Amino acid sequence: MEQADVIRIQRFEEMDLKELTKPRGSHHDVSSAVTEIIRNVRTRGDEALREYTARFDGVELQDFSVSEEEWEQGLRLVEPRFLDVLETAAARIRRYHMQQRRQNYIITEENGSAMGKVFRPIEKVGMYVPNGTAAYPSTVLMDLIPARIAGCGNIVMVTPPTKEGTVNPSILAAAKVAGIQHIYKIGGAQAIAALAYGTESIPAVYKIIGPGNAYVAEAKRQVHGVVSTDTVAGPSEVLIIAEGENDPRILAADLLAQAEHDPDASAMLVTGSQELAEAVAEKLAKQLSVLPRKEIAGASLKNNGRIILTDGSKETALQIANLVAPEHLELCVDDPMSWLPGVRAAGSIFLGRYSPEPLGDYMAGPNHTLPTGGSARFSSPLSVDDFITASQFTFFTKEALADIAPSITLFAEQEDLIGHARSIMSRFPEQE
């Protein structure tokens, strides 16, 4: 395979910048189909779930819950070494997210007033775990451990059943490590509808998290407002900035690590070196030819991959990174810490040549559920904050309120809200 057939090499000054921000992913409109599925689940409950499970997953189920026997059988299929890896990863994820815990606070004043904020976990959370072209036990850990740290006590998981009517053993193992006890074998938009509205056997929740296909994403959009949902994730993406001395073999491997996710995934390299660009393209062609998921990775690189040649300046490279606002940003540069202040939008930033993106997928500790499609400009990685709510409180004595009553009254009158002013002054009839 020729390198030109694998990935485009383009000069930044010759590019249409819209190419860097164009939406990716399926443009097939599934909204009508999803609306019908949600309506059916709301009105017919478990009966509709059984029909959709038979139609879409090819399995007849009467009971959706995973029994103790299924748990035991599934866990016996997981090699002990992988269980140890899951435990190690969970410990690292837990240590990182423990720093995100919120503390209640109160501010008091000499006149007796007090105000503050109290934080509490979301009472009921549902997590969707896909089981399509690949299973992702890492996402189980990344999504559920922050919820546990937040204090969520009632967490349920839904995941599509296998053709045998079971759950992927690695998913069961990750759920056990994360401390989940209730798993239901349902998938697709019907699972989201069940979590949002509840059925005879599936409890309704207050928040739904977890990635899924276009139908799952659309279902989350449609039930948002009935329940809270996390960010609707788009295709995964990485942008690598490579300046100074870099091994083209390693850079090619990093690009392929992202491209093998999905044909719509995006893998881009930014460099000021024509020689490095061509060397990376050559290594990509060689490595792609022996990659097990080469069809997927090849489509990703052809459709969305590119190597962008710049003038070699730090400013131009950061301009591109901030324009793209990638899910993952690798800074394969000398002194990467000095680049960090210039990054204004990225989901997760990997600093240096020994911090590749797959490190963050599995073992580093920071969350791998990240904003995609440029939404890093206004969204953040999944965190403990996503599983808590807060109430603020205010306490004033009569004396404290009297101190600022005239100011409140004047404010209200300026907005022509006389009822507001009377609400205050009615407490002080002697001043009316």
Which residues carry out catalysis?
Answer: 327-328
- Counting Cα atoms < 13 Å in the Cβ hemisphere of 268 gives 29
Longest dimension (CA), the chain: 90
Q: Over the Cα atoms of the chain, what is R_g?
A: 26
Handedness of CA 417, 423, 429, 431 (dihedral sign): negative
Pair 330, 238: CB distance under 8 Å:
yes
Do 78 and 169 touch, CB atoms closer than 8 A? Answer: yes
Q: How, if at all, do strands 114-121 and 388-395 pair?
A: antiparallel
Interacting residues of 114 by C-beta distance below 8 A, sequence separation 6+? 106, 107, 108, 393, 394, 395
φ, ψ of residue 228 to 5 degrees: the values are -85, 145
DSSP string, 288-315: HHT-TTHHHHHHHHHHH-EEEE--S-HH
CB of 256 closer than 8 Å to CB of 229: no
Angle between the N-to-C axes of helices 137-150 and 80-98, in degrees from 0 to 180, rounded to the nearest 10: 40
Cα 142 to Cα 137: distance, rounded to the nearest angstrom? 9
* CA–CA gap between residue 175 and residue 116 (Å, rounded): 36
